[in-house]
Structure 1
Amino acid sequence: MAAAVTYLHQNGICHRDLKPENILFAGKEMDSDIKVADFGLSKLTSDESTLNTACGTPNYVAPEILRQHGYGKEVDMWSIGVIAYILLCGYPPFYDENDAQLFRKIMKGDYEFTHGWDEISSSAKSLIGALLQVEPSKRLTAEQCLAHPWVTGKTARNVNISQSFSTNFRAYSENLHHRGAKGGQ
């Protein structure tokens, strides 16, 4: 994911809507290449230009987009932090049934490593924390993310997290399904 976004950023592209649904595997192999899809909200940009359009998917949107004071490629790195968080534990770092409350949590960077994080390494948590920085200038760039010790495998642990992930993801999915059913009544 970080390599794909590094390529985009090096070519002046800000995706602006990274989420699991937009990350695809090129094949069925375990080591298959990652492909980024859905460039409907992407924008060509330079390091000097500022984007202003409020866009993205609520759970993955960066605080600076919500503040509407201009933003850059750093928004993609925030989204990678959210995606990595979900992939490690099965639920998002920011969640609320009320979008206004959700956006307040995002703008404050209000998340915790609670259920399902006992088996996750401190290095993985360090990566997440460096990506979910509210201040964009403090957030890892795509290149810095690629060089992070957890991403390079230098500090990754070989721990099976499938049970805690499955339990948490099932609970999160059921909550979303229940929320959708209530909204349709």
Structure 2
Amino acid sequence: MSELKGVRKSYEIGKTIGEGSFAVVKAGRHIETGTPVAIKIVSKRDALFNEESLDREIATMMQCDHPNCVALYQVFDEPQNTYLILELITGGTVMDRIVELDMCSEHLACNVTKQVLHALQYLHNIGIIHRDLKPENILYASNDPRSPDYNTIKLADFGLAKFMTGSGAMKTICGTPAYVAPEVLSQEGDAPEGYDCKIDLWSLGVVVYVMLCGFPPFADENRALLFEQIKRGKYYFLSPYWDSVSDQAKDMVSKMIVVNPEDRLDTAQCLNHPWIMNEDTASTTRLHAYIIEILSFVVGNANNSVPIVPFCLFGN
């Protein structure tokens, strides 16, 4: 029997637990310690493989050390594949949890939002913009109600994340259409102004909106029309879906989904908003009855819906 080399010398690789365009994620175990991990296997042979993007993802995650961010432990670069040894996350997405519980409350939404804000504040403080914040990238650490990590949120997928430049402004059009900030979409002109970390706050505002009512503030199967909606920034707290949502929650959303980034709340301001500050007293009452039907549809169609496919145009 030949001697094990590379990743297989240190880790056992098990069953597939997730798949992407040019990567597969498998359950794994560290041979010496028995520690369970997730192993992301990136195929260098795939036509969609982008070495620069992978290098950026690795460099970004190597800098992250926060309890609300998925941890990258180790990287094995082999001739045909690159193996990323990641923290094993078993709780599914925030929308999976809402569907599983058959309810969403302001308390749940507020708790999720607060933890994501702490992750974003950390990332922004070390110069990283996530650039693809959406429900699919907000995970629960554990699916075991007895675990102390059952309600712990982990921010995932740093494939589009990037360190801010010296000027603090970026110009690459990237993100997920339904959640992308309007200033990102304004980079196609002759003199684009760039954008900064405030784009993550817009995206989180859209996520909060979805958690509270079950559908996004901007939606259209035609991407061009969707982008026009986003750039106008017109949305509504529609009845009956928002009737049982508090004024504090609506105020928070209305100060995050703001077209002008200068008028949009930053992470510190969001964390000091009354809705977040009063998390302990937030309502645990089930929100509008239609929410589970709507969220089940959103989760079930997530991989087939045009408006939520990540994209990145002209550059990185």
Normalised by the shorter chain, which TM-score bucket? Answer: 0.7 to 0.9
Q: Does the 8 A contact of 1:119 with 1:159 survive in 2?
A: no
CA distances 1:135-159 after superposition (whole Å, capped 9, x unpaired): 0010110111111111122673343
Partner of 2:267: 142
Moved more, 171-180 or 94-103: 171-180
Partner of 2:41: none
TM-score normalized by the length of structure 1: 0.87
Partner of 2:168: 49
- Whether 1:124 aligns to 2:263 is no
Q: Does the 8 A contact of 2:134 with 2:207 survive in 1?
A: yes
Q: After the TM superposition, which residues 161-176 of structure 1 pair with which residues of structure 2 at under 5 Å, given as runs?
A: 161=287, 163-170=289-296
Partner of 1:183: none
Q: 1:36, CA displacement in angstroms?
A: 1.1
Bigger RCO (CA 8 Å, 6+ sep):
1
Rg larger in 1 or in 2? 2
- Whether 1:64 aligns to 2:183 is yes
Q: Give the unaligned 5+ runs of structure 2.
A: 1-115, 307-316
- Whether 1:160 aligns to 2:286 is yes
* Residues paired across the two proteins, number: 180
Aligned partner (choices 206, 210, 215) of residue 91 of structure 1 = 215
Q: 1:97, CA displacement in angstroms?
A: 1.2
SS at match of 2:119: helix
Partner of 2:46: none
Counterparts of 2:136 and 2:294 in 1: how far apart (Å)? 19
Q: Does the 8 A contact of 2:201 with 2:265 survive in 1?
A: yes
Against the structure 1 CA distance between its residues 173 and 71, is the aligned structure 2 distance closer, same or farther, given a 3 Å change threshold?
same
Q: 1:130, CA displacement in angstroms?
A: 0.4
Partner of 1:39: 158
Counterparts of 1:179 and 1:11 in 2: how far apart (Å)? 33
Counterparts of 2:305 and 2:129 in 1: how far apart (Å)? 31
Higher strand share: 2
Aligned partner (choices 114, 125, 140) of residue 25 of structure 1 = 140
Q: Does the 8 A contact of 1:47 with 1:72 survive in 2?
A: no
TM-score normalized by the length of structure 2: 0.52
Q: 1:92, CA displacement in angstroms?
A: 0.5
Partner of 2:119: 4
Q: 1:101, CA displacement in angstroms?
A: 0.6
Counterpart AA for 1:57: T
CA distances 1:130-181 after superposition (whole Å, capped 9, x unpaired): 000000010110111111111122673343216231133346568879977x
Counterpart AA for 2:119: A
Q: 1:32, CA displacement in angstroms?
A: 2.5
SS at match of 1:55: strand
Against the structure 1 CA distance between its residues 151 and 26, is the aligned structure 2 distance closer, same or farther, given a 3 Å change threshold?
same
Q: Give the unaligned 5+ runs of structure 1.
A: 181-185
Counterparts of 2:151 and 2:299 in 1: how far apart (Å)? 26
Moved more, 25-34 or 167-176: 167-176
SS at match of 2:154: strand
